[in-house]
Amino acid sequence: MNWLDWVLVALLVFAAFKGFSRGFIVEVGSLVALVGGVWAGIHLSERVVDAIGLDTKSAAVAFLVTFLLVLVGVHLLAKGLTTLIDMAQLSLPNKWAGVAFGLLRSAFTISIALNLMAGSRDGSLPSDRVREGSSLYAPIQSFAPFVVPVLGETKWLAHAMGKLQEEIRTIEL
């Protein structure tokens, strides 16, 4: 094990601790809020600004208001569901599921970062010697490329990706 392994272990331990302390519902809610907030900010910002009566011409302000409304709404919903789970005395399974979700989400994020660094211009970060001496670099780096093709086989995700590609093509630069 070298310094890169210790950094990767520290990041994963932090993710596990964060997942345990927040629980599965809040962890998933955070991810849903982020993705949903961005989607709503892109597609619904004008309607939301009109509905709450803001007089703004700035697209950035409209996006930010919509994004924050979705973020707060989903967070409050997740906290409410967590309270119900605690009342049903299911908080320990919720917390352990939070550990698993936090680890998987962080491993996926770290994998993307490692792949981006490896694909940079010189590809020397981290150095070849450090990568070869690391026990965790190869398994974690290959995690995101493994998961993404598996997700691509699901029909609903393939449909969503097709719609996203259509939206990207219609955007005028």
Q: Please report, in tens digits, the pLDDT of each residue of the chain (173 residues total).
A: 788 889 999 999 999 999 999 899 999 988 888 888 888 888 887 787 777 777 766 677 778 888 899 999 999 999 999 999 988 888 899 999 999 999 998 998 888 888 777 765 565 667 778 878 888 888 888 888 787 776 555 666 666 667 766 776 776 54
Output the CA torsion sign for 143, 145, 146, 151. positive
Burial class of residue 173 (count of CB atoms within 10 Å of its CB; 0-12, 13-18, 19+): exposed
Amino acid in the structure at residue 35: V
Q: 72 near 29, Cβ under 8 Å?
A: no
